[in-house]
Every structure is written in C-alpha cells, then in structure tokens.
Structure 1
C-alpha cells in the first residue's frame, strides 16, 4: 500500500508554516482534490469543473475554557508554496455526505450550517482511496465528539463499517512535535485516530446478543407488531415465574432472620465489654502521658542548664583580660622591638571590643559584669590611643630633626644631592600597622597625627628643595642674553648675542625630574601610611618613563612604597573614598605648602638669563602635567599648573616688551629702507623654533601672531608718515619680511599665513607705485583713454569722435605729444623707479612688472582707438614691446 499523505511530515510542516502566527496546532494534513457539484444534476467535467489540488488540514487552538477546532483549506501558490484559502469552524459542521455519483466511494461533501448561501452546492472533496477518506472522516468525528460533545449527521456511510475499518487499521502514525529543544517524534496509534463508533452507538457484546436474538426470531416474523406482542407475552411469563420462585423460598428466609437475631445479641454483649476495656485503656494512657511530660521537662531543664554553663564559660573567656595584653596596652614601650607585641595587643583589643559590642547576645548586654568590662576596655583603649598618638607625634618630629641636623642629607656647594627618603619611609613603616589599628580603635585620633606628620615632613621637603635649587643655580654657568631683541637703536646690522643657554632649561628639567617624582611618591606614601581610603596610586615619576641619571645627582632611589601589604582592606571602602580624597588633598596642601617658592626661583632665574628659555620650560612642564593622572597627588598637579602659568606670564611679559620696542618706531624720525625689526624678527623666530619642545607650539604661535600684527601695523603707520614714499617703504619691508622668513614659512603654518599676507601687501604696494610712475610719464595719453571709457557708458562709440575734445584731431595731438620721444619717456620711468629705491635687488623685478603693466595699458588703448577711431593709426603692440625689450 502506498504511503498516505497524512503521514507526510514535510506536508504537515508546510501547513504549520502557512498558518504561523495564528497560535493553532495542526492535527492532521492530507492532500485532496476539489471539484464543484451541481444540485440535482450529474457532475460534468468541464473547464470550470476540473479538480483542483488542495490540502485539508485539521487544526486546534487551545483556550482557557475550551479548545476550538478548525478545518483549513490550503492551496498552492504560483511559486509552489502553501497558503491559506478557506477556514471553517468544526462547531458549525452539520453533516457529512458521501457523493452517490462516485462509485469508488472516495468523494464526499461537508455541510456547514453557517454558510451564507445554501443554494450553492458545497465543494466535493475526492480522496486518493477509501483508507484516506475513512482516516480523515474518523479524525473529524473524533474531534466533534471529544471537543464539541456531538456528532454531525452522517449520510451514505455505514458507521459499523467505519468502526470495523478503524479496528483493523491500528497502524502507528508518527507525528512531529517541536518543543523548545528541537523536533521530537511521537508515536500515535490508529486507536487514537479512529472514532469509537462501537462505544458511542452500541457495544460489541450488545451487538452480538442482538444478532443472536434477531437470528432466533428471524423465521416466522412477517410484521413488527406481531413480533412486539410476542415479546410482551414472554416478558409477562418471565415475571410471573420470578414471583413464584420468591414465594417458594420463605422457610429459608425465616431461618436466616433467626440467625441474624442471635448474632445481633452477641454483638451487643461484645460492645459492652469493649466499652469497659476502652475506659480502662484511656485512664492508663492519661497516666503514661503525665509521666512522659514530667520526664520531658526534666530533660529540657538539664539541656538548658548545660547550654547555659557553656555560654557562661564563653562569656567569661571574653570578659577575661590577659595580663600581658593589659600591661602592654596601658604601660608598654613603643620601641621597634616591642611593636609586634603592641600590634598583637591591638588586635586582641579590637576583637574584644567587637565581640562585646556585636557578637554578644542582646540579653547579656544588660548584665552588670558585661557593662563593667566594656567600660574597662574603653578606658584601656583611650589610654593606649593617647599614648600611641603622643609617641608618634614626637617620633615624627624627632626623625625629621635628626635628618635636618645632618648636612650630608642636603645639596652642598659643588655637589647636588638627590633627596633620599628610603630610610625615612623604612622607619615609618614600622608603625604602619599601629596606625591602622589606631584608625580602627579611634578614627578621630588620625587627623592630629596626620597634621603632625605633614608639618614635620614639610620642613624637610622645603629645606631639600631650597638647598637643591640654590646649588643648581650656583653650579649652572650661562651667559645672560639681553631682553632687548627688537630695539630700534641697535640697527639691523647689529649681531644678536646667540650664546648657548640650554643649560638653563636643563637645570629646570633637572629640578622637575628630581622633585616631581619625589612629591608624587610622598603623596602616595602619605595616603597609605596615614590610612586614607583612596584608590591605590602608581608613582608616575619622570614622564619619559624613567628617571634621568645625572652625573652629580645620587642615582640610588628607593621609591618602593611597600604600603599595600600593610592591610589588604585599604582603599576598599568606596562609600567613604570621596570624603577621604578631599581630606587627603587638604593634608597634601599642608605637606607641600611653600615648596613652590623654590620652583618659582628657578623659573625667574632662567627667565633673567634667557627669556626665550620660557618656551623650553613650558614644554617640559606640559609633559609633566600630562603624566600626572592620580587624584591623590592633586597638589603636585596644582604645582605644575602654577609653574606653567608663571612661565606663560613671564614669556608674555617678554613678548609685550618686544612689542613695545616695535611700537617705538612710530615715534621716531623719518625712516627709510627696511626697518631693523624685520630681519631681527627672523632671527628671533628662528631661535624660538629651536626652543620648542613638545607641546609649546601654541605658546609660540600666539607670540608670532602678536609680533607680526604689531610689526605690520607699525610699518603701515611709519609708511604713512611720508605718503610720497609710503609705497616704496611698504614693498621694500614686505619683501624683506618674505625673504627673511621664507625657510621658516615652509615648516611653520602660522608664519606661512603671515608670509602670504605680506606677499599680498607687497603686490598691492608695487602696483600702486608702478601706476604712479606710468601716469607720471604718460598721464595725458592714458587720461584721454580713461575719459573715452567713461563716455562709452552714455554715448555710442560711433558718436564719440564728434564730441568736443575727442575728435580725431584731438587724438592725433595726444598721440603726438605722448609718443614722440617715447624712448626717452620710458627711460624716465626707469630712472623714476630707481631714484628712491634703497633695495637695489628689487629693481629688476620691479622694472619687469613696470614694463608689463605699461604694455597692458597700451594694449587696452590700441583696442579702444581701433574701435572708436578705426581709420587712425598708432604704433603697434609689437613695436612697443620691441622698444621696451631694447631698453
């Protein structure tokens, strides 16, 4: 037998895909052929009645109250994909009718009572075989019975035959379920799919009895009424026989009643005995319960007494103060050898206080012994905190005094000594654990200790910085450069002192290299040693990721803090880190306050030697600022910011003084030729570029902008003092500016901008001066041309020769007076151009520009004459060009 399409898992999957999103589950899907029948006529095959391939699918949708069932009709689209066509609710299925015209019995119709038009014949569905038909109809009937509680009307189909077919075809059917973890195959037998027609209509046993009965009375029965009368008579006979049999059994019934009466008497006697025994047992049970209650109370009392004894023993252990700890806390020594014992005593005291405050049951807290012991422990705590605080304050001061009294710790004449705090920190680490326990015992005692430590160490740091800065300046030999760079009295030919002053910026860098890492390390050491709950710091040191080794500076530097191993819990309390960070910055202010004055002294000393070294120092400071990212070293960042501001202020002072020197040119006597500050600015800019280090570009560019703006404004004012020679002075100075800054403008964008600005001003001044020279020699000729151009705005060109003063005769007179001896006039232009020029190297380019502008004007004149006076002749452009070339 061929496999039924109802078992096709792929067909079922396609149907589920077609109704995806409707929350319905496919129970069965099977391929059918659809055709349209005509009421009362034989179905004819034609173009409009050809069978169409369809898929019938039975689906269900679960609801909270009940489950709905649907019959879906799906058709194939043009792409071969199943898509929904019709939807019927099975609750409206009223009949299932077999088509009588189909001898195979594979065609049937489904009637629904909610169709709008009952006059149109419902579609006929044709199955491939009778098995497919029975399988589909049995599934529909089962669902109607189980979900709807009723069966539709079945016409033309034998129910008994379908039930027998369902019993014989109990084949297994594999259905695909798709849970969350993937598809799982489940086996459904044919018993699950068949309609239990036998159970619903008549059972098999009843059917057999009916067949036997019908077989017994089959012969001799002609009419139903006679058969019914015969059955009634036999029923009456059977009832009479039953009554007679009951009457014959009366003696037996009497004997049974007598036996029941005697048994009832015995039962009553037994019930009386049982009542007596039950009362005795109840009294005995009450006695046993009373004995058990007394025993339980005794056991509980014994257990509680034992637990109370153990608890009191523990409490006595807590209340007991070891004598060695008591002596150590109240009158012990704080020498280095005794510190392990002191720390151990602190740990015991902390644990004892915590056990009495937190771990003790609240009921014990009201006991007088506990209260007295708490008061005693608090007295011991306050005594120890007071003694330890007093010792540490004296210890910090003594330690610093010892170091300051020894001159070998500081820089001396002829020897720079790098500050070394390794021994200081080593001795302080001895008491780091003690400070942490003091913080736990009494947090308020830390601020006086922190203030004492900062005050003592501040004296040491300021002394080290002062001695180092003094020796650094004394050991640095540098020639002082003058601050007057652009003074007019020096003249352009005076050579500026270009002495090497690099050792000045190197001294400043050495000061930062030595002290900035030291200050950062001290800030980090302070934050951990004095128990500030802030994030751990990584000392940044030299921004070049390494400390520069100097020949006369001690290279040995032990900056390993070694504090993080004191207490692993330091800095882990994020809720108070912001508060501690603000307090830390306040104590850092006390620790490092005043040390900035020594840095300022080095900056001022460097400025006096060479103001331009401010550029190098500014770049060095910016690199250190970019390397300081830790919040706990906030004062170091402020120090670097203030140094940067002071360097910028000094450099701006130098720039302002140089600008004042430039502005003084405006008040001087008449100037000729190139102003002296033009070439001197090129020398100044070259040296400034040599001093740029790293990020000082903006500082120098701002100075360039200020310098050049003042230079150009002053140049314009000086030139306007003598308008007759203003253009000569302008283009000579702008040309000198371009020549002196040509190389720098190629690499410095800011100077390139001013270079182009000077180039435009040079071109404008040259154009004005050359036009003046041309008009001086040929004023009448080009004045005549300009007036003609003005007339052309209002008069047609052909009428101009008839105007007064513009006739052909006037043109001839003008040409004769201007172009006769034109070679002498051109020579006069050259002499005029050369007369007041102080920069002879500009003459060739100016003369070429002059000849070009003259030819352009002459060409415009010839075009104008040819248009207005076509019959007149004048020297051609080629002749004039040859004449100019021969000059």
Structure 2
C-alpha cells in the first residue's frame, strides 16, 4: 500500500525517551507499525521529517519523537584542526587568503619607517602596539562625535524592520490564500482522476459486453438449419455442419466465470443446450437409419460378386457416409452418449454384412481347393489357373525334380510320408492353393484397411475431442482438408464426390508412414469383423487337412503379409500375426509327422533295398521348399536339421533290419544320395551334416569293398598269414623258408593253385555279386569296382613284399602281374 506524503497528519513515536520500535502513522486512519530495530525506526522518522521540510507547506506533526532526530546534520568545520608534521598548511586552513598588492606596499612602507623592523622584532611590535592604541583612541573620539549619525542610522534600521514585518505579513496572507488554492487544485485533480477511471471502466465494460454478446449470438439462419436442416442432401449437410460449428463456438466461448452467473448468459446457455439436444437427436436418428439401411443391403452386395473370388468393396457406403464426418465429430463432442449408441448401431449392422461376405468368400476359396468351384473366376482379367494343366518334368517350383528312377517296391511307405506329395498333379494343385491363398489374403487386406481408415476418420478414433474448437477454427487449413466436407455449397453431388473421395479416404492408405493405432481402433475393428480370425483359422485347418505341404505355402504367404503390413498395430496385422502363429504350429506338426513317417518306414525284405523312400522324398521336399521359402529361412533351416538328423538315424536302422541287401551297401548308397542332396542345397546350416554324410559314405564304401573282396586267393592268403605269424613270434624273415610248413616247395605249390584263369574267374564272380547288391538308381557299381581293384592290388603287392622279404633270391613269384590284374578288372567292367 502507498499514501501521499501530504495526506500524513502526524507521526506518533510512542515515547521520546524510552526506546521502542513501535510508531503510528495517522492518515485518515491510524496505521500501527513495528520496525525491526530502533535504528531503522529513527532513520525512517528522520527521512520523513527531511522530506516534509523540503517539499510540504503544511507539514505533519511529530509527537513523542526525540528532537535530536529533527535537527539538521551540520558538517563539523576543519578550521580547528592542528596540522601535523609534514601536513600542508594550505590544505588545512581553507580560509587563508594571500596579501593583495596594496597590502604588501603598505606593509613595506610601514616596515621602512622603522629601522629596527627586521633586526629587532620586539621594538617593531611595541611600536605597532603604540600606534594601534593611538588609532583606537582616535576611533572612539570619532564615534562619539558622530552620535547623531548613529541615531539616524538606528531610526532607519527600525523603519526597515517595520517595513520587513509589513512585507512578511503580506506574504503570510498570500501564502494562506495560495494554500487554499492548492487544496482546491488537489481536490480537482483527484476528481479528474476518478472521472478518467470511471470512463475507462465504462469503456471496458462496454467492450466486454459487446464481446460477450458477439460470442453468445447465434444467427437465425443457423438456428433454422439446426432445427429444420435437410441431412439427406449435400447442401443441407454443409449448412447443418456450418450451423453446428457456430453453435459449438457459442457453447465453447471463452467467458469469464463471473459472467456465467448473469441471468442473460444462463438463459442463452439453456437455449444452446436445447438446440444441441434437438439437433443431436435428429442427427442421430438420420445416421441410425443410414447405418441400418446399409446393413440390410447384404443380398444386393453378395449377388453382385457371386461366384468371384473377390471381397465386395464398400466404397459406395463410405462415400455416402463421408459427408457426415464433421457432424460425427460434433456429436462426439456434444453428445457422447448418442455418439456411442450410433457407433454400436454401425458395428452391429456392418458386422453382419462383413461376416456374411467373408464366410462366403472363404467358402468359395475352399470349393476351389476341393475342385468344386469355377477356377476360371479366381482372378478377373488374368489366367492364374493354367497351372492346373501343368504336366511333364517340371514341378511347382519351376525347376526339374531331379529325381531318379524309383523301384516299385519303394512305394509302400505310409500315406503321410512326403513321398506321396511329389507327383505332378499334386504339385499343380499346390501351386493352385498358393494362388488361392495369396488371392484370399490380398483381398482381405484392402477391405479391412479401407474400413479401418474410414472408421478412424468417420468416428475420429485418433483425434482428441478436446481439440474440436481448434479443428473448427482451422477448417480452411490444408493440413485438415481430410475432414472431407465441401467448402462450397454450390458443388453438385458428383463434383463433391470426385473432389473429396479420392483425396480423402484412400490418400492415407497410399501413405508409407506407419500409424500406431490405439486400443479403441482395434476394439471397433474386432466388433466389425467378429469372426474373421475364427473363419481364417477354419480355412487354415481345412487346407492343412487337405495337404500338409500347404502349411509351407501358408507360412511364407502369411509371413510376407505380416512383414509388409503398413500398419503393424492394426487389427488386420494382429489377426494375421495370430494366424501366423497357428500356421507355424501346423508347419511344426507337419515336420514332426514327416519325422514320424520316416521312423515308421518299412522296406520290403524280399527285394534289394536301394535308395530308401524317405531319402528320395527328402530330395523332392528340399527342391520344393527352396523356392517356396524365399523368406522365413529360419523355420526352414530348423526343419532341415530335424529331418536330416532323423534320416541319418533311420538309414542305419533300415540297413540293420534288411536281410537281402548288405548293411554297408544300404548305408553307402543312401549316404551318397544324401550327400548329393545336401551339396545341391548349398545351405550353410547343413554344412556339418553334408560333411558327415560324405564321411559315412566313404567309410561304408571302404567297409563294403573290404568285405566284398574278402580273400579272392584264399590258400595264398592263409599261407602268408602263417608267414607273418612266424615273423611276429620272433623268427627271422630269412629263416622262415627253412621251416617245413612254410618252405619254398610249399610256397610254389600254393602259387600253382592260382593261375591266371582262376584269378580272372574269381574276379568275374565278385563283379556279379556286387552288381546283384547295388541298385541301378544310385549307379555306384563302377565306383565300388574301382575301389575293389585298388584293394586287390594292395593285397598282391603285399604278397610280393613278403616273398622278397622271407624268400630272397628264391626266384619265386606270382603267376600273374599287376598289369594283368588291371587288364582283368578293365575287361570285366567293359563286358558288363
């Protein structure tokens, strides 16, 4: 608070002698104060006293205040200071004045008159004193002689004093008069200030009232549009929308809370509430009828696309409802209950339509897969189903099957085995399924996204209703042009739809920006498509029952749609992701079934084994899977590893169980085929398995060669085993020939039993036996024969080594040479 100094009447210090921090200021009212200290109180009172002395004519009174506080502070004089040693006297004595020229000449004249003025200062001072006494006496006589003049001077001084008193009285009179004038002027100034404030307040009040009336004024045309507007025509919709905006501006007007208590404001607000309720009721009734009418058009929509594997688009229904988008936002802000009820009506009616369409659509797809539908109508304008006529040596992967000849006895594998899934007709059907599945997913995606985009815009699921006022104010902003309302009522219906439909509804669909959808959007979509996930799962189950291979196509196709989805949080993406989980389980089940089929494989024991059926089928499986799985390679690699490990173990089981074909032959041929398959795949995750297959093949080849070759020169082999035994027992090699059982004569006798003809006959018998064991499908006969040749030559070389070591200089040698052996092996191979 503040006061004018002239309004202060007096200050009460409470007690002039006793120290107290309390004091009172008397204006029109008495204000009691408490200083924080006596020093602060004294400083404040002294300051007030000085200001009043300087500026006020009528000064306030000071009561109970020490007089020392009301005295001028006089700066002490420095004349009495005694200069210290070294001080500058001219600085200390500020009143010192130098002698003038006349005074110097008079002083010199006086000193010249006294000869001893310089030499005898005392006599000079005494002389001066005498002269001063003479002058004082002369002055006294002169004054006494001029007494009359003094009396005249006194009279003049008395007259002057009287005149001064008279002037002072006149001045006091003038001062009192001016004091009255000053008080009157101050009063006039205060009145002028009050008048200025009053006028300013009146102006502000007038402006506030004008602003209030402007904000709460709804024109008659808007009221008429709200009460009697035609919501069935574009022009009427536009007028009602503008009227709703105007009403909303009035309802949301920024008014001071105190003004809301005015009777007129309350009455106007009640009027607006009635208008809002009336228009909301008529708008809700009209939109309710529109929603019900659209939901009842099932027969017409379905009949239009009957027989086509195509989901009916809802462009027309969206187009018809688009002009009401801003009114729906107004309804959401003004009457949330009616808005929620309309939302339920829309979802209830449209869900029936979508449920029927999707069920019929998926049923037609199932009929196509079962061969009962019109396949030529799968995709209008394209011939996607010529693949059903595919025949020859090319499978659905577009590459040769690379399968080799199969024994008829190998076709007795269990029905779930993958060997039954590789025929040309089955491959064509699978490619048909792939096309149908892609068509199903491609048709569902635009329909669901279009409906989701429409619901987001029409029901304003992603907008905050609190910002409705800002949206109304920015209707002309290009950033908000997606409200889809015509800005010019002069547009015709056709012009309006052409101008707004493409730029409004599907422009956002074409955008690559991803939107994070909230739970409200997904909830509404789940109500519009209540059975989509269930129907899609049913389709997946049917397809999986038709052919387990379909799970591979579904896994890849569904994975592509999930990965390429623009809106990762949309209802459709979540639904596809859920279906993808089920498909992944079916795929894992399919792989497990293949493993179980491999484990349960039984091979005929009456015929030679050859390539086991599951090894041959794995080749077909891998050829198809490599092209099918362009994505989700992780799932395929895991399946590969499971199947290969199972095949490894089951090859050994079948080889051990088969009685007609040697165990080593079965393992050799099948590991060789498996190595060839894995090498062709060039899959890094199967590199260890490829190396293991190669190792096992080489081990089995060596084992079979050794076993099959056996002892072609039996007696010779027995003889040299005995020789090696004697050497091992400690007999010197050159002394072995002196023993009776291993003499040179016995050695020559044994060698004569194996002439050239006998050796060749034994080799031919061995070739026929190998040929009987090996299958033509894998074509390893030449490989085994070359391996046998190497082993036989090693035995012969060993016999020659022992002869040279134990029978030196005996001249004994085999009746055939290494070249003869090579020629025999070559002739036998060429003859067959």
User: TM-score category by the smaller chain?
Assistant: 0.5 to 0.7
Closer, same or farther in 2 for the Cα pair 1:433/1:772, shift >3 Å?
same
Post-superposition CA distance 1:562-617 (Å, at most 9, x none): 15999xxxxxxxxxx98x71111111111222134554565556556655354344
Count of residue pairs brought into register by the alignment: 611
- Residues in 2 aligned to 1:504 and 1:243: alpha-carbon distance in whole angstroms: 156
* Residue equivalent to 2:96: none
* Residue equivalent to 1:297: 194
1:364 and 1:370 in contact (8 A); partners too: yes
Please state which structure has a larger fraction of its residues in strand: 1
2:558 and 2:580 in contact (8 A); partners too: yes
2:709 and 2:766 in contact (8 A); partners too: no
- Residues in 2 aligned to 1:670 and 1:274: alpha-carbon distance in whole angstroms: 156
Structure 2 counterparts to residues 191-590 of structure 1, below 5 A = 265=161, 270-319=167-216, 322-326=219-223, 328-329=225-226, 332-336=229-233, 337-355=235-253, 359-401=254-296, 403-407=297-301, 410-413=304-307, 415-416=308-309, 419-443=312-336, 445-472=338-365, 473=368, 474-476=373-375, 478=388, 487-488=412-413, 497-499=423-425, 500-501=428-429, 502-533=431-462, 560=502, 562=504, 581-590=518-527
2:229 and 2:239 in contact (8 A); partners too: no
* Residue equivalent to 2:102: none
1:666 and 1:717 in contact (8 A); partners too: no
Q: How far is the alpha carbon of 1:498 from its aligned partner?
A: 0.2
Q: Which moved more, 1:380-389 or 1:777-786?
A: 777-786
2:294 and 2:350 in contact (8 A); partners too: no
* Residue equivalent to 1:662: 598
Identify which of structures 1 and 2 has the higher relative contact order when contacts are C-alpha pairs closer than 8 Å and 6+ apart: 2
In the alignment, does 2:609 pair up with 1:679? no
In the alignment, does 2:566 pair up with 1:629? yes
In the alignment, does 2:668 pair up with 1:731? yes
Q: How far is the alpha carbon of 1:628 from its aligned partner?
A: 0.8
- Residues in 1 aligned to 2:818 and 2:139: alpha-carbon distance in whole angstroms: 169
Post-superposition CA distance 1:515-556 (Å, at most 9, x none): 21221122122112110226999x9xxxxxxxxxxxxxxxx9
- Residues in 2 aligned to 1:420 and 1:240: alpha-carbon distance in whole angstroms: 144
* Residue equivalent to 1:759: 694
* Residue equivalent to 1:694: 630
Closer, same or farther in 2 for the Cα pair 1:487/1:882, shift >3 Å?
same
- Residues in 2 aligned to 1:672 and 1:748: alpha-carbon distance in whole angstroms: 32
Closer, same or farther in 2 for the Cα pair 1:412/1:275, shift >3 Å?
same
- Residues in 2 aligned to 1:327 and 1:677: alpha-carbon distance in whole angstroms: 83
Among residues 550, 553, 557, which one is paired with 1:620 in the alignment?
A: 557
In the alignment, does 2:646 pair up with 1:710? yes
- Residues in 2 aligned to 1:350 and 1:512: alpha-carbon distance in whole angstroms: 44
- Residues in 2 aligned to 1:641 and 1:492: alpha-carbon distance in whole angstroms: 28
Among residues 791, 800, 812, which one is paired with 2:730 in the alignment?
A: 800
Q: How far is the alpha carbon of 1:829 from its aligned partner?
A: 6.3
Q: How far is the alpha carbon of 1:872 from its aligned partner?
A: 8.4
In the alignment, does 2:593 pair up with 1:593? no
Counterpart secondary structure, 1:665: coil
Post-superposition CA distance 1:757-813 (Å, at most 9, x none): 332211111222223345545664686688789x6xxxxxxx93279x989749946
Closer, same or farther in 2 for the Cα pair 1:459/1:270, shift >3 Å?
same
- Residues in 1 aligned to 2:192 and 2:205: alpha-carbon distance in whole angstroms: 20
1:607 and 1:650 in contact (8 A); partners too: yes
- Residues in 2 aligned to 1:371 and 1:661: alpha-carbon distance in whole angstroms: 84
Structure 2 counterparts to residues 32-43 of structure 1, below 5 A = none
- Residues in 2 aligned to 1:783 and 1:663: alpha-carbon distance in whole angstroms: 44
Counterpart secondary structure, 1:533: coil
1:859 and 1:877 in contact (8 A); partners too: no
Q: Which moved more, 1:294-303 or 1:455-464?
A: 294-303
Q: How far is the alpha carbon of 1:299 from its aligned partner?
A: 4.6
Closer, same or farther in 2 for the Cα pair 1:722/1:312, shift >3 Å?
closer
Structure 2 counterparts to residues 793-872 of structure 1, below 5 A = 800-801=730-731, 809=739, 812=742, 816=747, 821=753, 824=758, 828=762, 831-832=765-766, 834-835=768-769, 836-839=772-775, 841-856=779-794
- Residues in 2 aligned to 1:644 and 1:663: alpha-carbon distance in whole angstroms: 28
Post-superposition CA distance 1:813-861 (Å, at most 9, x none): 6993976656656864663464252336433322322332455566678
| TM-score normalised by the chain length of structure 1 | 0.57
| TM-score normalised by the chain length of structure 2 | 0.60
In the alignment, does 2:577 pair up with 1:641? yes
* Residue equivalent to 1:770: 705
2:656 and 2:663 in contact (8 A); partners too: yes
Closer, same or farther in 2 for the Cα pair 1:623/1:417, shift >3 Å?
closer
- Residues in 1 aligned to 2:791 and 2:118: alpha-carbon distance in whole angstroms: 148
Closer, same or farther in 2 for the Cα pair 1:436/1:771, shift >3 Å?
same
Closer, same or farther in 2 for the Cα pair 1:496/1:417, shift >3 Å?
closer
Closer, same or farther in 2 for the Cα pair 1:350/1:669, shift >3 Å?
same
Counterpart secondary structure, 2:257: coil
Post-superposition CA distance 1:257-284 (Å, at most 9, x none): x899789847666545433322221122
Post-superposition CA distance 1:293-349 (Å, at most 9, x none): 334434543543454345345444555554554454456553234222221221122
* Residue equivalent to 1:7: none
2:736 and 2:742 in contact (8 A); partners too: no
Counterpart secondary structure, 1:560: helix
Q: Which moved more, 1:389-398 or 1:487-496?
A: 487-496
Counterpart secondary structure, 2:313: coil
Q: Which runs of 5+ in 2 are unaligned?
A: 1-116, 377-387, 396-407, 465-478, 483-497, 509-514, 825-832
- Residues in 2 aligned to 1:245 and 1:440: alpha-carbon distance in whole angstroms: 116
Q: How far is the alpha carbon of 1:497 from its aligned partner?
A: 2.9
- Residues in 2 aligned to 1:801 and 1:487: alpha-carbon distance in whole angstroms: 61
Closer, same or farther in 2 for the Cα pair 1:708/1:301, shift >3 Å?
closer
- Residues in 1 aligned to 2:710 and 2:122: alpha-carbon distance in whole angstroms: 157
Q: CA RMSD in A?
A: 5.4
Counterpart secondary structure, 1:732: helix
1:625 and 1:641 in contact (8 A); partners too: yes
- Residues in 1 aligned to 2:720 and 2:268: alpha-carbon distance in whole angstroms: 120
Post-superposition CA distance 1:640-683 (Å, at most 9, x none): 22443444444445444444443333476466231334334434
Q: How far is the alpha carbon of 1:458 from its aligned partner?
A: 2.3
1:412 and 1:471 in contact (8 A); partners too: no
Q: Which runs of 5+ in 1 are unaligned?
A: 1-229, 540-555, 567-576, 792-798
2:603 and 2:658 in contact (8 A); partners too: no
1:422 and 1:559 in contact (8 A); partners too: no
Closer, same or farther in 2 for the Cα pair 1:395/1:722, shift >3 Å?
closer
Q: How far is the alpha carbon of 1:418 from its aligned partner?
A: 5.2
- Residues in 1 aligned to 2:352 and 2:445: alpha-carbon distance in whole angstroms: 17
Closer, same or farther in 2 for the Cα pair 1:760/1:516, shift >3 Å?
same
